[in-house]
Amino acid sequence: DTEVTQTPKHLVMGMTNKKSLKCEQHMGHRAMYWYKQKAKKPPELMFVYSYEKLSINESVPSRFSPECPNSSLLNLHLHALQPEDSALYLCASSQGEAAHFTSYEQYFGPGTRLTVT
Amino acid sequence: EDKVVQSPLSLVVHEGDTVTLNCSYEVTNFRSLLWYKQEKKAPTFLFMLTSSGIEKKSGRLSSILDKKELFSILNITATQTGDSAVYLCAVQAYSGAGSYQLTFGKGTKLSVIP
């Protein structure tokens, strides 16, 4: 299994809603990532989890809350979002987080297309 | 601040043409350079380059890294309409406090017309 899966594929939510995005991989990868991608722009890193611990938080607003329940699962909890948060949210995983002597390619899931109304 | 610059930003070619996509970077503590292909949804991994001068090849695609001049090229020979996509270059670099980050360029949009 060389796939990263994400659910749901599409999500429309109001500004007062609470929803969650889910990401799963069964490749034994120990690092997982959330990216946000706006139209015609490259992905922007939001969070990195390494061995189920939050490693990087790129100054993301607190209305986005990540959670890594185990090494295969990564969630992104959403609350009180703004219309400008509408974007494609991509999950990725890699064998490990890059270190001084190693570097790992990241494999991306299909993304969740989020629309905030 | 780390920078990754891709050129051209867009390119239109005919089927059968050969194309070269460019990626230059300015980062401190470089670790690796990655190429991705993005069609409608998620980026698909193509290559990871860590050493200068060693060409990586996969079918009609090949890539090479020059760590002295700080650039990489992605070549596609005998292009097909299925090669139409945005090609993203990303550089992995040490960002401090034991962490590495992936910085993406803006991408090159390749359109292959029959």
Q: Which residues of A touch B2 (CB under 8 A)?
A: none
Number of neighbouring beta carbons within 10 Å of residue A12: 13
- Asked if residues B48 and A105 have their Cβ atoms less than 8 Å apart, the reply is yes
pLDDT tens figures, A2-36: 589 999 999 999 988 999 999 999 898 888 999 99
Whether B10 and B68 have beta carbons less than 8 Å apart is answered as: no
Question: Nearest CA of chain A to the CA of B54: how many Å?
Answer: 16
C-beta neighbour count of A74 within 10 angstroms:
27
Give the contacts of A40 (CB within 8 A, at least 6 positions apart): none
Question: What pLDDT, in 10s, does the model give residues B61-102?
Answer: 999 999 899 999 999 999 999 999 999 999 988 776 556 678
Query: Which chain A residue is nearest to residue B85, measuring alpha carbons?
Result: A40
pLDDT at B31: 85
The pLDDT assigned to B15 comes to: 97
Q: Which residues of B touch A98 (CB under 8 A)?
A: 31-32, 92, 94, 100
Chain A to chain B Cβ contacts (< 8 Å): 54
pLDDT in tens, B44-60: 888 889 888 889 998 99
The reported pLDDT for the residue numbered A91 is: 95
pLDDT tens-place string over residues A30-59? 889 999 999 888 888 898 888 888 877 777
CA distance linking residue B47 with residue B33, whole number of Å: 8
Half-sphere exposure of A94 (CA within 13 A, CB side): 21
Give whole-number Cα distances, A117 to A12, A14, A82, A85, in Å: 7, 5, 8, 10
